[in-house]
Amino acid sequence: MNNLLFLLQKEFKQIFRDPAILRLIFLMPIIQLILIPLAADYEIKQIDISVVDHDHSSYSRRLTNKLVASGYFQLAEYNNSYQKSMETVGEGDTDIILTIPQNFEKDLIKESAAKVHIAADAVNGVRAGLGTAYAGQIIAEFNREVREEWVQFPRMNPLPLIEITSANWYNPHFSYYLFMVPGILAILVTMVGAFLTALNIVAEKEVGTIEQLNVTPIKKYQFILGKLIPFWVLGLVSITLGMLVAWVIFGIIPVGSYFTVYVFSAVYLLGVLGIGLLVSTFAETQQQATLFAFFFMMVFILLGGLYTPVESMPEWAQWLTKVNPPTYFIKVIRAVYIKGSNFSDLLPEFYAMIAFAFGFNFLAVRNYRKRSA
């Protein structure tokens, strides 16, 4: 027990003397939380639209105005040549071309039907998809307005109207910050927990001090606890800072309780610390550890559902997400922050995290040797 205290004392002293680690712990949460949500905003605005108007009627102009007035579109071009608009697509100035055919107004009035054509630049699939969808909605609304004007006697309306209204539960304003910020908190904890631990142990290997420790009667579990406890504390410090930033800068506070966040963070950290320890038993140099870390981080983030929902991944990938610890933590943090889930709602995730904690630490402890073969 005494040995452990000596180890902890030493570790904390070293951490507080290392400006790089301190910077990482204090600045990383702040910078990541500010930058990533701003960059990873999926709400598509300012879609550049070219309107090819072959009709030049009041209706065609009204439709154009309606599109621009929606706020989603920006009129890049207004002409009567599809060819010319295509060129602007090639130059990247136009995302969507709306073609209004000749006799649009006439057909609309006389035959109660008219056609328009939408073409989208699908290099950026999300932009194209959303742009087309927005345009479709606006045209449908335009359609309804026109009908209402013509139907003099609403009770005789021959076409029943189905209006779809929607409500966004839990995130009524559909804020991307509310979606991204908790997810980034989860990634932060993962980084601090797994990678600082791995780098720290491998650094001792490189300098040779680990050999000096291995030749002392220090017990394996003491060494491991001496390494894990400080980074467990740092992980909790880092999520606390992260939550503070989320509140101060984005005004985001959990709907659920902070207590739930901490309980899950504490257990989840044990698992990621195990990953860090495991990496350190394989890596001989800090370069190797960094490359391992980089690889794992990519997989963690991509499979973790930070950017893309797990449900829309192919089935095999969904299976992989089940063995990806951050998937659970991202889900938990989002649930507590956005839905206000409590501990009992998240029991399956809790068990999964316990399993990860045991699994990774078991492997790491088995792999860590005071004596080489």
Partner 1 sequence: MLETVIHTENLTKQFGDFTAVDAITFDVYKGEIFGFLGANGAGKTTAMRILCGLLSPTSGEAKVAGFDVYKESEDIKKHIGYMSQKFSLYNNLTVKENIQFFGGIYGIERKRLKEKTNELIERLGLVHEADKLVGSLPLGWKQKISFSTAILHEPRIVFLDEPTGGVDPITRRQFWDMIYEASNRGITVFVTTHYMDEAEYCDRVSIMVDGAIAALNNPSDMKKDFGVKDMNDVFLELARGAKRGE
- Report the interface residues with partner 1, using CB under 8 A: 2-3, 5-7, 9-10, 13-14, 17-18, 207-209, 211-218, 370-373
Q: How many CB atoms lie within 10 A of CB 211?
A: 12
Residue 16 or 319 with smaller CB distance to partner 1? 16
Looking at the Cβ atoms of 25 and 108, the one nearer to partner 1 is 25
Shortest Å, Cβ 238 to partner 1: 21
Q: How far is the CB of 271 from partner 1 (least distance, A)?
A: 28
Q: Rank residues 35 and 207 by Cβ distance to partner 1 and give the closer one.
A: 207
Place of tokens 């579990």: 221
Of 188, 199, 357, 358, the closest CA to residue 292 belongs to: 199
For 184, the token pair is 């980034």
Smallest distance from the beta carbon of 18 to partner 1, in angstroms? 7
DSSP 370: S
Tokens of 370: 């005071």
CB of 7 to partner 1, least distance (A): 8
Is 8 in a helix, a strand, or coil? helix
Nearest alpha carbon to residue 328 among 298, 359, 306: 306
Nearer to partner 1, 5 or 122 (CB): 5
What sections of 174-285 are H helices per DSSP? 176-190, 197-207, 209-214, 220-250, 258-282
- Closer by beta carbon to partner 1, 5 or else 126: 5
Minimum Å gap between C-beta 15 and partner 1 is: 10
Q: Which residue has the tokens 């990541």?
A: 32
CB of 283: closest distance to partner 1 in angstroms? 18
156/373 with CB nearer partner 1: 373
* Euclidean distance between CA atoms 99 and 260, whole angstroms: 54
